[in-house]
Amino acid sequence: MDQDEILENESVEKILSPHPLSFMGLQSLCIFLIVWGLLVAWLVNFSDFRSYFINPILIIVVWAFGLLLVGVIASLLTVLWRIFFIYCAIVGSGIGIVFWLGYLNDSGVFLPVFTVVISIIGFLLVECFRRSHKYVISNQRIIFKGGVVVKEERTLRYDKISDINSKQGVLGQIFGFGTIIPISQSGFGLGADTSFAAGGVQAGKKRLKILGIFGGGREVQTPRTRSYYELHGIFPYKEVKKIVENLVQGSVITTYQQEQVKFQEEQVDLQKEMRDLLKKQGTLNRSLNNKEEDIES
Amino acid sequence: MSASPLDIIVFAPLAPIFGMLLFWFIQLLFIESQKYMLSGISKEHEPFIRFTNFIGIFFQTVCHALGYTVTKHGISEFYIGVHYGKVAPKKNKTGLFEWLSNGFLFLGPFFIPSFLLLICLFFLLNNGFIFYPLESYTFSENMIVFGNNIFHFSYSFFSFLATIDFMHPGHFGFFIMFILLGLGIRPSYIGEKTVKKVDIFYDLKNIRYKLLHKPLYIVFFLLSAYIFSYLSVLFNLNWYVGLFSLFGWLSIIAITALFFAHIFIFLIKVTDLIPGTFRYISLMLFPVSYVILRILFFLVPIPYITTISLLLSIIITSGLIILFLHSLTNTFKFSEPMKSHKKSK
């Protein structure tokens, strides 16, 4: 953090970055690509089923089908269609290169190598994304920074934090990292889980066909935000959580402190009244003295 | 072969029980040894210990929940963590249901991981799952058939391990699962917090307590075993010996998995002994040498490629680890010959 970014009387407690394994959701998509690439390579070149893959089109179909199937499943589970579109792009570019460069007869070798290379690129991109995150915990605020191309920044003062959500997955429990989402009074840090159910009905066999779709939705507020607006996958989790909670508690006025402030305000009012009374008395005394002096003269 | 009624009624049912107990006891010894090795590296490799704890706790908790579900206790609370797992029943039942749920909790962690591996082996082994028929229902015949069942399975299983092909996705996946489950076949916790000491002596004390204070558990178990044995005799089937042979197979899988887990833990321990950049060489040597050998034998084909590659990789790994330990550490080094030390004493 640059010195010119530090405010008056501000001291930095910790500068953090996400743990290397904290983006396992994205990394697992790359791991799958490696596994699938190797599996296809074994299936079409070395397995007992290799005789079925004499036709190169079948290799392309099997390779693409596996990728798209996992893409759909991953997208449905994470409610992120981005994953499916990325896998679609990989399939499209792979098939495009095969036909463009005339690798159709070598697709049993080219497609697995292509998949592994893409997964390595994916790993590098995820690592760049992880390294773009920077969290600064100072005695006055938390600064969240992130974004590879477009730089995002969020500053949150401790007195504006209304709630703290913490979570630690299995990997986090093993390696000691976790995510802390500070929710602001404006609701920044809250997301929504939406579920929708639909069903279709078809009546009649030959002529009459009635199709009906019934749906229903439900939305649940849940602590969720982008990784550069939360303390994502920070290590050591327990220590950082304690620091943040202490700083939040330190900026919150307790009931006793509120009574003290009220009492002090009353004291100030009393003192002001006394000052005004003393001023009045002073002016009265001065006017009396003047009158006495006038009488004497 | 003539068999006395006393042998058939009293002694014959005990034969497979003794056999199974023998293998289970060996399994307990291996578990104890693994716990000792893990506690030795617990300070340097905390995440690894937490991971092994998680596998163990996962199976223990799942077995606990399974026990409550099967016995219709219901589950009101379920939690699995790295440090502990918790399953609370909805209803508290006593008698047979309580015994069954306790049985799941007590025996599940020892046999459920091996059972998962056995299911995988069902698709990988060619002819290991054979139950030999019984000629007569005597103690000796039961013992011989139990031994034959165990031998046949062990032969197929070890042949598979000796010819395992790490380039085959099925074999590779099985081996990874084999090591991972081997690390977690133990119903206990190792870590920074001393929760409760659960070791072999605890298990033995528990068994002794059950024998002395709750003999009904043992009576119920023996009664069920004898009834099942008599039913097998009545229908002229080998089901009774077959059931205990199945438990024997599970123990053999568990013992072998624990043995491989021992080797893996040793390789991790070696990373602490070797300093500097060569630190992780012990973990890298085997896969790297195996891949190089397989590529070499793909270009220059020879018979028994998988076994020879495996054997050479093991020799290369062991040899180079000894070499590294000798050259980079004080292990295997003596400033003076040992004989002179002995003489001076």
Q: How high is the pLDDT of residue B74?
A: 84
Residues B290, B160, single domain; the answer is no
Beta bridge partners of B180: none
What's the maximum distance between 2 C-alpha atoms anywhere in chain A? 133
What are the residues whose beta carbons fall under 8 Å from the beta carbon of A191, sequence distance 6 or more?
A221, A222, A223, A224, A225
Three-state DSSP at A288 gives helix
Residues B225, B329, single domain; the answer is no
Residues B185, B279, single domain; the answer is no
Contacts of A176 in chain B (CB under 8 A): 46-47
**Which of B247, B271, B295 is the C-terminal boundary of a domain?**
B271
Q: How high is the pLDDT of residue B149?
A: 93
Per the CB < 8 Å rule, is A46 touching B47? no
* B344 within domain boundaries: no
What are the residues whose beta carbons fall under 8 Å from the beta carbon of B51, sequence distance 6 or more?
A174, B183
A–B: how many Cβ contacts below 8 A?
20
Minimal Cβ distance to B169: which of A39, A170, A174: A39
Residue B292 touches chain A, beta carbons under 8 Å? no
What ipTM was reported for this prediction?
Answer: 0.77
* B341 within domain boundaries: no
Q: How high is the pLDDT of residue B199?
A: 53
Residues B180, B101, single domain; the answer is yes
d(CA B182, CA B255): 8
d(CA A56, CA A45): 12
**A21 neighbors A140 (Cβ within 8 angstroms):** no
Residues B182, B318, single domain; the answer is no
Beta bridge partners of A223: A190
pLDDT of A1 higher than 70: no
Residues B174, B299, single domain; the answer is no
Q: In chain B, which among 87-116 make CB contacts under 8 A with chain A? A: none
**B60 neighbors B196 (Cβ within 8 angstroms):** no
**Which of B253, B271, B289 is the C-terminal boundary of a domain?**
B271
Residue A170 touches chain B, beta carbons under 8 Å? yes
Q: What is the pLDDT confidence band of residue A124, given thresholds at 50, 70 and 90?
A: very high
Contacts of A174 in chain B (CB under 8 A): 47, 50-51, 54, 82
Q: How high is the pLDDT of residue A256?
A: 76
Tens-digit pLDDT profile for residues A14-40 = 899 999 999 998 899 999 999 999 999
**Which of B256, B271, B286 is the C-terminal boundary of a domain?**
B271
Q: How high is the pLDDT of residue B83?
A: 82
Contacts of A173 in chain B (CB under 8 A): 50, 54, 81-82
* B320 within domain boundaries: yes
3-state secondary structure chain B: CCCCHHHHHHHCCHHHHHHHHHHHHHHHHHHHHHHHHHHHCCCCCHHHHHHHHHHHHHHHHHHHHHHHHHCCCCEEEEEECCCCEEEEECCCCCCHHHHHHHHHHHHHHHHHHHHHHHHHHHHHCCCCCCCCCCCCCCHHHHHHHHHHHHHHHHHHHHHHHHCCCCCCHHHHHHHHHHHHHHHHCCCCCCCCCCCCCCCHHHHHHHHHHHHHHCHHHHHHHHHHHHHHHHHHHHCCCCHHHHHHHHHHHHHHHHHHHHHHHHHHHHHHHHHHHCCHHHCCHHHHHHHHHHHHHHHHHHHCCCCCHHHHHHHHHHHHHHHHHHHHHHHHCCCCCCCCCHHHHHHHC
Q: Compute the average pLDDT of residues A242-262.
A: 82
* B194 within domain boundaries: yes
Residue B297 touches chain A, beta carbons under 8 Å? no
**B225 neighbors B247 (Cβ within 8 angstroms):** no
Residue B231, domain extent: 5-271
Residue A220 touches chain B, beta carbons under 8 Å? no
Residue type, B332: F
Residues B111, B218, single domain; the answer is yes
Residues B127, B210, single domain; the answer is yes
Q: How high is the pLDDT of residue A72?
A: 92
Residues B210, B308, single domain; the answer is no
How far apart are the CA of B266 and the nearest CA of chain A, in angstroms?
Answer: 20
Q: How high is the pLDDT of residue A211?
A: 58
What value does the mean pLDDT of chain A take? 86
* B236 within domain boundaries: yes
How far apart are the CA of A172 and the nearest CA of chain B, in angstroms?
Answer: 10
pLDDT of A135 higher than 90: yes
Q: Compute the average pLDDT of residues A231-256.
A: 86
* B338 within domain boundaries: no
Residues B205, B290, single domain; the answer is no
Three-state DSSP at A254 gives coil
Q: How high is the pLDDT of residue A278?
A: 93
What's the total number of domains in chain B?
2
| In the block, residue with structure tokens 């020892």 | B110
**B37 neighbors B269 (Cβ within 8 angstroms):** yes
Q: How high is the pLDDT of residue B26?
A: 92
| Beta strand A152-157 pairing with A178-184 | unpaired
Residues B128, B22, single domain; the answer is yes
| Beta strand A178-184 pairing with A161-167 | antiparallel
Q: Where are the domains positioned within chain A?
A: 24-130, 195-219, 253-297
Tens-digit pLDDT profile for residues A66-123 = 999 999 998 888 877 888 999 999 999 999 999 999 988 899 999 999 999 999 999 9
| In the block, residue with structure tokens 């197929």 | B156
Q: How high is the pLDDT of residue B220?
A: 82
* Whole-prediction pTM: 0.79
Per the CB < 8 Å rule, is B167 touching A42? yes
Q: How high is the pLDDT of residue A231?
A: 92
* B43 within domain boundaries: yes
The reply to whether omega before A18 is within 30° of 0 (cis) is: no
Q: State the DSSP string of A172-226.
A: HHHHT-EEEEEEETT-TTEEEEEEEEEEEEEE-SSS--EEEEEEEEEEEEEE---
Name residues of chain B where pLDDT drops below 70: 1-2, 187-208, 210-211, 330-345
Per the CB < 8 Å rule, is A46 touching B167? yes
Q: How high is the pLDDT of residue A251?
A: 77
Tens-digit pLDDT profile for residues A181-214 = 988 877 766 776 665 555 555 555 555 555 555 5
Beta bridge partners of A167: A179
DSSP symbol at A3: G
Residue B82 touches chain A, beta carbons under 8 Å? yes
d(CA A196, CA A214): 10
Q: How high is the pLDDT of residue A9?
A: 81
